[in-house]
Structure 1
Amino acid sequence: MTTELLPDNIAALKAYSSAKSEKLSGTTWLNANESPYSKAYNVSASNLNRYPDPQPPAVIEAYARYSELQPEQVLMTRGADEGIELLMRTYCQSGVDSIALFTPTYGMYKVSADTHNIGINELSQAQLQQASASELSELVGEAKLVFICNPNNPTGALISVDKIAELAQRLAKRAIVVVDEAYIEFCYQHSAAQLIKTNANVVVLRTLSKAFALAGLRTGFTLAQQDTLAPLRKVIAPYPVATVIADIAEQAVSSANIISMRRQVSILNTLKAQLVDWLQSSAAISQVLTGEGNFVTLQLRDKAAIGLAYERGLVMRPFTLFGEDNWLRISIGNEQELNEVKAWLDSLTSPALTTKEP
């Protein structure tokens, strides 16, 4: 059997379970933090017989303008996930080095580390929030990479740019602080991207999957100082960006589309505030985490409510958080989709679901 050829760390690996990995059926999909908006793009197939530019200049320059950085500080990747992989493959020695992360958080940090046989110093979101930068610099130990998802998925928690800056300064020449900003467009004033200008050990991960409504494109960016990105450019695949992907991405990060994206973000943030109000006033909900991002995470009084949602064709993301399995993350959809959530909440008024103690 070929399984006998597997390294021990791969044989023991627990794969990341994405929102789309479960074959569910439904009519309202609010489980993957996708945008409810879609847009048609112009695509040419006239030059598909040629290899693409590894780092398409027009996209790089447009995204550099958007992020207020220089083009040499931008690396285009296959989603932010490739940025995570590249950082580990480039800066961590298998079987020797480690990363630090703050759970609960995005699961691919752990999966990527386990895949490359990299140690994990697992700290908590509470420590990230409550400890000082000085204390955190000691808690991360010998970690080469310190992953901070900001805003955090799935809690929505946010830490200040000032705290990230101080942590990076304390870890200078010891570790790289990797700030995953997949959801930053929903609170753009909290971006750490400008820290790159003065901190060689700050890396920011971005994606077009969320606010830019291009989850199907699988396009992201790794932002860092030129010298920090140079080793990643040696490790990345020779042709990581398909021609068609580059064409669409260039259109997506144009000035006009950025204005459109920001308008959509404003609408989604307003709808999110309305959803939070509904959740907080529902007798079926015991706790609501009101952080940033295009989602809300909540704790149900009875997890049987999730099954009732599936029966209605309403698909949301169940979680086990803080040792309890009755948590649910709801992506912010359009007004019609969130009305389906409201109808589900209103249906959770039977004694079986509302009389239990939290």
Structure 2
Amino acid sequence: MTNKPAQATLLPDNIAALTAYSSAKSEKISGNTWLNANESPYTKEACIEIRALNRYPDPQPQVVIDAYSTYASVDSDQVIMTRGADEGIELLVRTYCEPAKDRISLFLPTYGMYKVTADTHNVQINSLSQDLLLNGEVKDIINAVSGSKLVFICNPNNPTGAVTSVEKIAELTKSLANKAIVVVDEAYIEFSESYSCALLIKDFDNLVVLRTLSKAFALAGLRTGFMLGAKNTLAPVRKVIAPYPVSTVVAQIAANALCSDAITQMRRQVVILNKAKATLIDWLEQSPAVSKILSGEGNFVTLQLKDKALLTLATNTGLIMRPFKLYNQDNWLRISIGNEQELKSVKDWLNAISAQV
């Protein structure tokens, strides 16, 4: 008889079978031009007051909550500050889903952390298609998500950049009242603000919007996000969230990032990045090495190479982009929108591989 190690004996089956999320930074790759994680190319300077670090922080720093509620045009009691939008995903699953009983609905392909979080908490996944979400009738979508506690809509969607109209999300949310919570992940919303569903919160208590400072606000290293929703919807989440989720230092930097001048600067940077994206798409359209481009919203472009081996030339020169499998094909690539010099490296790579096709 073989004795199992203690950790194998104690480990729940769902965790033993879990495939961890592979982030852009989890792979130890060397390079000098990083366009693989949808980060902003802009850097921030922070002036930090550290005298009070001997005291526990405010669990929900009011100055940050008030600033973000003003920015998002919601009430302060409709905002929870989280450790990135990822914690918001985890909190919703942990709060509203019963392990081994409940399920969530996803529209694939989409952000991988929804699945990882559900698998971690032993919550079933109802896998649906992005095509259904984008092109299906609302009644068909409602039937497809039936029985799910949470319905996740990444808008704009990562990695495709596809967007769902506010009107369609409102209709879905209305139809799912008292049946499911619609969770709209707006990590990239600053790049297409007209698609934001934040203002719908006043009309629906089964709608939650997730936000982040990681993308347009250029604070990926800060790990700061926000959950927006009706007061009664967020109340159970407040019982589940860690006692002190936001450090004093993080709160100070976040408050500075949400002042009027900083928001104006962020919006100027978004305009520049959106223009740079249009230029990149033009280059890609002219390249014989590219077979398809998903030119949706967000600070990235997803494309299909005619031959995935063409990516080797980029990595050999230190240009790091995000390859992945999509639609059962492994020759897809996501390029984050960088600064002028970074995108020049992409242009040089495209010129080099075009000569090989």
Give the distance between the partners of 2:239 and 2:321, measured in 1 at CA: 40
| Residue matched to 2:18 | 13
Give the secondary structure class of the aligned counterpart of 2:115.
helix
| Residue matched to 1:141 | 146
Percent of counterpart pairs with the same letter?
64
| Residue matched to 1:271 | 276
Q: Does 1:320 align with 2:315?
A: no
Residues 98-152 of structure 1: per-residue CA shift (max 9 Å, x gap): 0000111000000000000000000011111111111111101200000000000
Amino acid at match of 2:186: E
| Residue matched to 1:199 | 204
Q: Does 1:295 align with 2:290?
A: no
Deviation at 1:4, TM superposition (A): 1.8
Give the distance between the partners of 2:214 and 2:248, measured in 1 at CA: 18
Give the distance between the partners of 1:349 and 1:300, measured in 2 at CA: 11
Give the distance between the partners of 1:141 and 1:115, measured in 2 at CA: 22
| Residue matched to 2:249 | 244
Residues 168-221 of structure 1: per-residue CA shift (max 9 Å, x gap): 000000000000000000001110001101000010000000000000000000
TM-score, normalising length: structure 1: 0.98
Amino acid at match of 1:296: V
Amino acid at match of 1:281: Q
Q: Which piece of structure 1 moves more, 123-132 or 272-281? A: 123-132
Give the distance between the partners of 2:173 and 2:118, measured in 1 at CA: 21
Amino acid at match of 1:47: A
Quick one: which of 249, 257, 265 aligns to 1:260?
Answer: 265
Give the distance between the partners of 2:138 and 2:183, measured in 1 at CA: 15
Q: Does 1:227 align with 2:232?
A: yes
Q: Does 1:132 align with 2:137?
A: yes
Deviation at 1:349, TM superposition (A): 2.6
Give the distance between the partners of 1:313 and 1:176, measured in 2 at CA: 43
Amino acid at match of 1:55: Q
Amino acid at match of 1:342: K
Give the secondary structure class of the aligned counterpart of 1:148.
strand
TM-score, normalising length: structure 2: 0.98
Give the secondary structure class of the aligned counterpart of 1:206.
strand
Deviation at 1:334, TM superposition (A): 0.3
Deviation at 1:3, TM superposition (A): 1.9
Quick one: which of 201, 220, 228 aligns to 1:215?
Answer: 220
Give the distance between the partners of 1:19 and 1:185, measured in 2 at CA: 21
| Residue matched to 1:189 | 194
Give the distance between the partners of 2:237 and 2:152, measured in 1 at CA: 17
| Residue matched to 2:352 | 347
Deviation at 1:240, TM superposition (A): 0.3
| Residue matched to 2:107 | 102
Report the count of equivalent residues: 352
Give the distance between the partners of 1:349 and 1:64, measured in 2 at CA: 48
| Residue matched to 2:314 | 309
Give the distance between the partners of 2:141 and 2:186, measured in 1 at CA: 20
Q: Does 1:30 align with 2:40?
A: no
Quick one: which of 111, 114, 134 aligns to 2:116?
Answer: 111
Amino acid at match of 1:78: R
Divergent runs of 4+, >6 A: none
Amino acid at match of 1:25: S
Give the distance between the partners of 2:354 and 2:73, measured in 1 at CA: 50
Quick one: which of 91, 95, 103 aligns to 2:96?
Answer: 91
Give the distance between the partners of 2:70 and 2:62, measured in 1 at CA: 12
| Residue matched to 1:157 | 162
| Residue matched to 1:286 | 291
Give the secondary structure class of the aligned counterpart of 2:304.
strand
Give the secondary structure class of the aligned counterpart of 2:239.
helix
Residues 77-98 of structure 1: per-residue CA shift (max 9 Å, x gap): 0000000000001000011000
Deviation at 1:260, TM superposition (A): 0.3
Deviation at 1:306, TM superposition (A): 1.1
Give the distance between the partners of 1:89 and 1:198, measured in 2 at CA: 25
Structure 1, unpaired ranges of 5+: none
| Residue matched to 2:84 | 79
